[in-house]
Amino acid sequence: MVNGKEDPKVDNHQTQRLSTADVSSRLSAGSMRRAWRFGASVALFSIMAVYLTGCFTADATLNADGSGTVEVSYPVAPGANPDSEKARWSSPYVTLKSFTPKANNSAVASVTFSDVTKLSTAEGFKQVQVTRTRQDGGEHIQIVISNPRPKPDAKDEGRPGIRLSATLPGNVKEANRGAEVEGNRVTWRVPLAEFLRASSTELLVDYVPGNPPSASGEGKGKPTPAPEPSGKKPEG
């Protein structure tokens, strides 16, 4: 105050300090928002990369009780956090056994699962739905891989598509999409453009539960009968 009046210099100085603090606060808030958006974008890309690019391979082994293992090789976002990536492959039904970053922004995740129909409970398998149905003395498995953002005009561009192999607890009777079948092993290959154009890709296989043939051929053509329903004793 000067002679009962406000000193304009002091007021201006205070205003300047407030403005500077306000600007700093806004810059900090803006930086945090940008960092959050970047982190969210990386996480989203990591979640969707497997399905949006259509470039991944998976090698699974299924046991008779529905448990098993699977190894997935897939693309990751540049600068993706390894710990965040590891967390994507775990759930109450899925356990990550190993995670290996590779060159060219890719990685390999190896997991075990207690129930193949619960694979989608892990974020990394979110777009994969698996169902098992007993029929005609055998088992029918349906695998549906969703593509959240189909691209009707997608071109192959020479990139690899999907390769999914599964070793089953019994001889394969038949599989769709021209799959390669050898004993108890089935392999599907889906062209990249074909996968990207569709909203989902369905893979089907029927097999007879029992002892698969050994490398020497022993046991071939002699599958063990499927287990009797609970509560009913087998004859003899």
pLDDT digits (tens, 9 = 90+) for 135-175: 888 999 999 999 989 999 988 777 778 999 999 999 999 99
What predicted TM-score, i.e. pTM, was given to this entire model?
A: 0.69
- What mean pLDDT comes out for the span 75-95? 91
Q: Kindly report the number of other CB atoms within 10 A of residue 186's CB atom.
A: 24
Whether 8 has a pLDDT exceeding 70, the answer reads: no
DSSP bridge partners of 47? none
Segments making up each domain of the chain, as ranges? 51-209
Whether 191 has a pLDDT exceeding 50, the answer reads: yes
Cα separation, 222 vs 208, whole angstroms = 10
CA end-to-end distance (rounded Å), the chain:
109
pLDDT digits (tens, 9 = 90+) for 21-42: 454 444 444 444 443 333 333 3
Token pair listed for 115:
């129930």
Phi-psi region of 231 (alpha: psi -120 to 50; beta: other; left: phi over 0): left
**Residues 184/167, Cβ–Cβ less than 8 Å:** yes
**Residues 233/201, Cβ–Cβ less than 8 Å:** no
